[in-house]
Structure 1
Amino acid sequence: MPTITLNKNRILDLLGKKIPDEVLKDRISYLGTDLEEITKENIVVEIFPNRPDLLSEEGFARALKTFMGFDSGLKKYSAKKSSYQVVVQKDVKEIRPYTACVVVKNLKLNEEKLLNIIAIQEKLHVTYGRNRKRCAIGVYPLTKISFPITYTALKPEEIKFVPLGENKSFTGTQILKQHKTGKEYGYLLENKPKFPVFIDSKNQILSMPPIINSEQTGKVDVKTKEVFIECSGFNFNVVSKAINMLSTAFADMGGELFEVKVKYDSKTEITPSFVPEQMYLEQDYVSKYLGTHLKSTEIIKLLKKMGFDAEGNTKINVSIPSYRTDVLHPIDLVEDIVIAYGFENIKEDPQRPSTTGKELFIEKLKRKIREILIGTQYIEIFNFSLINSEEQKQLKLKNVVKIKNSLSSEYDSLRKSLIPSVLRTYKSNKHYEYPQFFFEIGTIFMKNEKKDTLVEEQNSLCISACGENVSFTTIKQELDSLLNSFNVEYSLIRVKEEIYIEGRSAKIIVNKEEIGCVGEIHPNVLNHFEIDFPISILEIDVDKLSRIIQEKILEL
């Protein structure tokens, strides 16, 4: 979690009141942040990753102001209409397809505010932007650029400009190999045939995102009064939220915001957009999770204390600020209501369970499997349950569970198999020594209309080996060893699957029941994942295996 140092006088100015340190300590601690210390000059606080809007002094003060009751409800922001345009060309579609932008005027910068701007940008890069992979931000003096601006992609050798902090021109390739920032973030553009660039109407290159700005057009100093800000990334919702966070911070610094038309091939987006998102919240839902009955008027008051607008009776319509990225479900609103209500005001209600707990058999089995595999040189890996649906499609997995309104195309579906995640792990570890042996025990998801959630969860085990001399025999030997450890006999039935090499794949059968599959991955799949060596792999339904072993124990 990022730790930020805030100027205490600046925070008090934004709050509009002089507040004793003891009161500040108490209120900041209950805001949902982790206070480290308050000194004569600074407030040092740890911000949780779900609240990137608090990374700036302006954002932090905005939240603290409503929380302490000095303001109430959703703070209104607006951007003036303008003729500024950014044209997004098709070339960036497969590289870094989206951008959102804003123009800010009438800034009155000093050294402190300039350092604050740099700090906001870098903190957002590291946290919300996932080290610039998810999104990257560029800030430019408006007087040095000419609209309209084009967001396009060029071959690395066609890109020539003086990078920030340098005095000579570099090509795109030279920036990645020779420039400090290029070396640090060059992997984000590695093996790309073209690199993204922002170019103005005078054909000046403003920047090569997500790496670096131009020295001529991308250097902001205390004399800068007007700036153009862009954020590029892979999901429009992500980049527009980042621009909203920056825009509101600049507005609270006294800047005047202007809209930018971002023209895509098939549509035009106006950014920034401060239209609040809407979400409904049931009164009974709040009381259920809070453990205390609250009236609708009390719930609305608490929501306004956390910077939301709200209205309604038993069904409350909540307006969510456009810069908040953490409200994805009504339970997130309940969390803020609890913070506003005060953890210190929740009465203790000790529970005395009338039952004793014990470890589930399937958990014992998974622990035993881990011990066996770790003892035979395999390394356990852990992957997200959310993965790219295109990767599942590549492995011919059908009827996968898609995420509605996913924030990123990289995580837009629930995995139906552990195999895509394991293959991606091999792709990410190409620079390590071979052979490599990985296993994962995790949850996979299937559609099931009989379930309340329409989704069925299943425990699965995937064991894999990758290396020059790896073959079907490599993984079959591991299958023999594992099932023999549990005294489980099995047979193999040859099966033809597109993801495996023909003749080198089979179903795993126990007691006439299919419990998994084993095979050697087809070269076409390896090429898709950019893997250079053969992979043999197996996947077993741990729930079925657990049931079979338990039945065997009962027979004894």
Structure 2
Amino acid sequence: MPKVSVGRDRLFKALGRSNYTKDEFEDLCMRYGLELDDVTTEKAIIRKEMHLGDEEATEDEEVIYIVEVPAHRYDLLCLEGLVQALRIFMELDEIPTYTVANVPKESMLKVHVKPETSSIRPFIVCAVLRGITFDEARYKSFIDLQDKLHQNVCRKRTLVAIGTHDLDTLQGPFTYEALLPTEIDFVPLKQEKSFRADELMKFYESDTKLKKFLHIIEKSPVFPVIYDSKRTVLSLPPIINGAHSAITLQTKNVLIECTATDLTKAEIVLKTMVTMFSMYCEHKFEVEPVEVVGTSVKFYPDLSTSNMEVPLSEVTSKIGVSAEATQVISCLKKMQLRAVQGLSGDKECKIVLSIPPTRTDILQSCDVAENFAIAYGFNNITRTMPKIPTQGRHQLLSQISYLIRLEIALAGFTEVLTWILCSNKENFSMLDRKDEKSTAVIVGNPRSSDFESHLRSTERAMLRVSGKVKLSISTMSRIRVATEKNTKKTAQAIVTFKNQLSEFVNVVVSSGALQLPLPQPSPQGVLESNPQVGSTITVTENTDKENPCAELGEVTEIPAIGAASGTDEGMVVVNMTTDDPRVSPIRALAGSTTANGGFVATGNEDFDADFGKVLNRGLVGSFPRVQGELKIEVLIGETAGLSDKSYGGLIENYEGKQSPSKAHKGFHILTFVYQILIFEVGDVVLLDKGKDIGATNRRRIAALYSGEDSGFEIIYALVLRVLQMLNIPCKPTEGYSIAASSEPEFLPDRQANVTLKGKYVGTFGIVHPEVISPNDVDLSWFQVVSSIV
């Protein structure tokens, strides 16, 4: 929905009351069908748009109200229209009457339209605001309204482009032409040198605001252009106006021209511009016409009212209220709609409306009913139960879909939800299929080529997701290093990874402060982060009898990132993190977070005063399916830089088994299995000539298994389970049958079709490597990919 930014103080002053509270104004907006979206300041808006800091914004702190208005109410896109609508709604003002100035034809401004313009932008409409008075706020509102209209009804200038000019700098009559780009030369707005039109296209390719409009005309052999009688360029629509006729605060006479590919939209835009700002003209609400001479002669703008007759019963029945004609007429007047009571031939009471040029959104009786409901007050409408004899319930298809989802989830698969839009390439070439032009539904005017087609097969969705699954490891084990009391020793924790884990896992080794079970607070330790695989961390025990608390020794090869609070036990925590899209960060099983973002793990081991070292490695996650080995070694003695006689201790692994004191190391190897099991039950869209819209939705099931072992039997079992759950027997004529297939996206002789009563319903098999590769799936992880569609 469009949003209009207006200064609070100026808005309240225009409404005739300066002491509105925010809640009171918000309530007024809600009663009129608007919404106060935000309250901010000019400085905050500038900072947000230009990405500036607090000290860099130079605007004042004027409070700005951002009001959300209906998209079809073009007359509310500026402060002037908003204030006028609310004042009439509150019955403070009468509905204005707009008039076209009575100008002799011989002195009327003329625009001559050349036939060549029909090939690019065939229509132009114009009007003049005479004796207008601008101040800074009015001028800004005038420019903002053009921008809002360009984004809304003008469809980013593709349908209509607005040009406004200081008429006193120009000399009529004007001509609207279509010329070769090399023949057009002028100084564009906010520039000081002249450009040819083709040069201007290249110049604006780097302009953040104007580059998005270049595509409208840049590939055309001719460009539209407007000249005055002295061959001064007014504008190059829909790109830029000329600098010569730029409007300033001193401008008194404004020429408004709208070039278009849609004449109706052009007339609406012109009416909106002149009706909103004619209140600032010398003759209030009066607009001077312009004669447009082309294949026919027309005069713009047309500010006449349009008439409509609506039966009273049709208005009230749509709202569900009982109201007299006088009440309906009074309510419509509050919405800028003049109305009187009339009678039809069958004596039925009718409401005869006179619709002003500002209300171009009133098209039929339902629009009249809507406006009556707004003025009547939605809160004043009595709530009643709808007169529907039936009760809602789930459709059969939805019920079956839910049961199938539940059954597949119980089989160990995880449900995913994917986009129904994709590129045409994803529908066909990425699945090694030819586009037969008879199944895929193509989106008209797609925003991106990535979303130009409706999904015709859920198999592609499974492959898209499979390359994006994030994994983490889930396990917990401990290795304890025991040392004798008051003996200086050093222990090393060396972390190594093997097989596929070493390809993508980064190791994080962190150390907590070591404290013997004494009442004194422990000293702070150092938290380390992001070493390389194989990095070492050294922990040294404190032998100072005056201060028996153990201290953390020097850390080697690992950069410090901050201090961590002491823990109840000494330990070393090893965590795994990665930026690989297949692996999510792993969180420690227990612990606390420090102020600088570090992590300190805590253990549950009972400590004896004679022992004081624990190496504790904790990993936990939600997807324990990674293939590989993780090895942690604890080295004591010569391998740690000390003699054999210096330790005389014990090593205890995670299972509680002790090794002799002369053992040099203890280790534990953990193995994890990597698998993906995902599914989706959703709709695809197919062309269907038998439907009135030419397309139909079809509910499909897709599932995918990926791992290092053969998964064909897993997918096959899932197919059988779904068919069994649906009570479909394995009988070719009465139930289902399975036979070999030859679909291009699966491996030959590793696929099968499923038929139901002789009709094909699906396929499953091992996905062909040539299909896996273009779908951005790492083949080193997907030795076997089985799928059902």
TM-score range, shorter chain: 0.5 to 0.7
Partner of 1:187: 215
Give the superposition deviation at 1:258. Answer: 0.7
Give the conservation status (yes or no) of the 8 Å contact 1:233–1:239.
Answer: yes
Give the conservation status (yes or no) of the 8 Å contact 1:99–1:240.
Answer: no
Give the conservation status (yes or no) of the 8 Å contact 2:329–2:339.
Answer: yes
Equivalent in 282, 290, 294 of residue 264 of structure 1? 294
Give the conservation status (yes or no) of the 8 Å contact 1:137–1:229.
Answer: yes
Question: Superposition RMSD on alpha carbons, in Å?
Answer: 4.1
1:456-504, Cα deviation, whole Å (9 max, x unpaired): 6675369xxxxxxxxxxx99999xxxxx77748679xxxxxxxxxxxxx
Q: Which amino acid aligns with 1:32?
A: G
Task: Please give the secondary structure, in 1, of the residue aligned with 2:99.
Answer: coil
Partner of 1:300: 329
Equivalent in 148, 159, 170 of residue 195 of structure 2? 170
Task: Please give the secondary structure, in 2, of the residue aligned with 1:422.
Answer: coil
Partner of 1:228: 255
Q: Distance in 1 between matches of 2:311 and 2:686?
A: 34
Alignment partner of 1:358 is 2:385: no
Give the conservation status (yes or no) of the 8 Å contact 1:33–1:46.
Answer: yes
Q: Which amino acid aligns with 1:79?
A: V
Give the superposition deviation at 1:19. Answer: 5.8
1:71-105, Cα deviation, whole Å (9 max, x unpaired): 34x42111213411112222121311112211112
- Alpha carbons of structure 1 residues 201 and 334: separation in structure 2 relative to 1, 3 Å: same
Task: Please give the secondary structure, in 1, of the residue aligned with 2:140.
Answer: helix
Alignment partner of 1:239 is 2:475: no
Equivalent in 242, 267, 271 of residue 214 of structure 1? 242
Percent identity (aligned)? 28
Q: Distance in 2 between matches of 1:80 and 1:321?
A: 17
Give the superposition deviation at 1:4. Answer: 1.8
Give the conservation status (yes or no) of the 8 Å contact 2:12–2:20.
Answer: no
1:4-37, Cα deviation, whole Å (9 max, x unpaired): 2223444345444556335433222211111135
Task: Please give the secondary structure, in 1, of the residue aligned with 2:317.
Answer: helix
Give the superposition deviation at 1:148. Answer: 1.2
Equivalent in 418, 421, 435 of residue 380 of structure 1? 421
Give the superposition deviation at 1:297. Answer: 1.1
- Alpha carbons of structure 1 residues 444 and 226: separation in structure 2 relative to 1, 3 Å: farther
Partner of 2:87: 65
Q: TM-score normalized by structure 2?
A: 0.48
Aligned pairs for 1:312-331 (under 5 A) are 312-313=341-342, 314-331=349-366
Q: Which amino acid aligns with 1:81?
A: N
Partner of 1:385: none
Give the superposition deviation at 1:364. Answer: 8.4
Aligned pairs for 1:88-167 (under 5 A) are 88-167=113-192
Partner of 2:696: 460
Alignment partner of 1:333 is 2:368: yes
Give the conservation status (yes or no) of the 8 Å contact 2:187–2:193.
Answer: yes
- Alpha carbons of structure 1 residues 344 and 197: separation in structure 2 relative to 1, 3 Å: same
Give the superposition deviation at 1:446. Answer: 10
Task: Please give the secondary structure, in 2, of the residue aligned with 1:150.
Answer: strand
Partner of 1:276: 305
Q: Distance in 2 between matches of 1:457 and 1:298?
A: 42
Give the superposition deviation at 1:167. Answer: 1.5
Task: Please give the secondary structure, in 1, of the residue aligned with 2:332.
Answer: helix
Partner of 1:55: 77
Give the superposition deviation at 1:246. Answer: 0.7
- Alpha carbons of structure 1 residues 457 and 422: separation in structure 2 relative to 1, 3 Å: closer
Give the superposition deviation at 1:210. Answer: 0.8
Q: TM-score normalized by structure 1?
A: 0.67
Give the superposition deviation at 1:54. Answer: 0.3
Give the superposition deviation at 1:438. Answer: 5.3
Task: Please give the secondary structure, in 1, of the residue aligned with 2:126.
Answer: strand
Q: Distance in 2 between matches of 1:363 and 1:85?
A: 64
Q: Distance in 2 between matches of 1:191 and 1:461?
A: 38
Give the conservation status (yes or no) of the 8 Å contact 1:98–1:233.
Answer: yes
Give the superposition deviation at 1:170. Answer: 1.6
Partner of 2:705: none
Give the conservation status (yes or no) of the 8 Å contact 1:241–1:324.
Answer: no
Aligned pairs for 1:435-474 (under 5 A) are 439=456, 441=685, 460=696
Task: Please give the secondary structure, in 1, of the residue aligned with 2:370.
Answer: helix
Partner of 2:98: 77
Give the superposition deviation at 1:359. Answer: 4.0
Give the conservation status (yes or no) of the 8 Å contact 1:279–1:319.
Answer: yes
Q: Distance in 2 between matches of 1:121 and 1:230?
A: 12
Q: Which amino acid aligns with 1:270?
A: F
- Alpha carbons of structure 1 residues 63 and 485: separation in structure 2 relative to 1, 3 Å: farther
Give the conservation status (yes or no) of the 8 Å contact 1:311–1:318.
Answer: yes
Alignment partner of 1:202 is 2:230: yes
Give the conservation status (yes or no) of the 8 Å contact 2:689–2:695.
Answer: no
Partner of 2:516: none
Give the superposition deviation at 1:115. Answer: 1.2
Give the superposition deviation at 1:378. Answer: 9.3
Give the number of the structure whose alpha-carbon radius of gyration is greater.
2
Q: Distance in 1 between matches of 2:386 and 2:454?
A: 45
Aligned pairs for 1:385-400 (under 5 A) are none
Q: Distance in 1 between matches of 2:317 and 2:300?
A: 39
Q: Distance in 1 between matches of 2:149 and 2:322?
A: 38
Partner of 2:442: 422
- Alpha carbons of structure 1 residues 485 and 337: separation in structure 2 relative to 1, 3 Å: farther
Q: Distance in 1 between matches of 2:161 and 2:13?
A: 30
Q: Distance in 1 between matches of 2:288 and 2:25?
A: 35
Task: Please give the secondary structure, in 2, of the residue aligned with 1:221.
Answer: coil
Q: Distance in 2 between matches of 1:485 and 1:9?
A: 71
Q: Distance in 1 between matches of 2:238 and 2:340?
A: 41
Partner of 1:2: 2
Give the conservation status (yes or no) of the 8 Å contact 2:271–2:358.
Answer: yes
Give the superposition deviation at 1:129. Answer: 1.4
Task: Please give the secondary structure, in 1, of the residue aligned with 2:11.
Answer: helix
Give the superposition deviation at 1:311. Answer: 1.3
Partner of 1:46: 68
Give the superposition deviation at 1:141. Answer: 0.6
Give the conservation status (yes or no) of the 8 Å contact 2:454–2:685.
Answer: no
Q: Distance in 2 between matches of 1:418 and 1:88?
A: 46
Moved more, 237-246 or 307-316: 307-316
Q: Which amino acid aligns with 2:211?
A: K
Partner of 1:531: none
Give the superposition deviation at 1:422. Answer: 2.3
Give the conservation status (yes or no) of the 8 Å contact 1:175–1:182.
Answer: no
Gaps of 5+ in 1: 369-374, 383-416, 448-455, 463-473, 479-483, 492-556
- Alpha carbons of structure 1 residues 36 and 156: separation in structure 2 relative to 1, 3 Å: same
Q: Distance in 2 between matches of 1:325 and 1:444?
A: 38
Task: Please give the secondary structure, in 2, of the residue aligned with 1:259.
Answer: strand
Give the superposition deviation at 1:365. Answer: 10
Q: Distance in 2 between matches of 1:155 and 1:167?
A: 23
Task: Please give the secondary structure, in 2, of the residue aligned with 1:30.
Answer: helix
Give the conservation status (yes or no) of the 8 Å contact 2:422–2:453.
Answer: no
Equivalent in 301, 309, 313 of residue 338 of structure 2? 309
Q: Distance in 2 between matches of 1:250 and 1:444?
A: 51
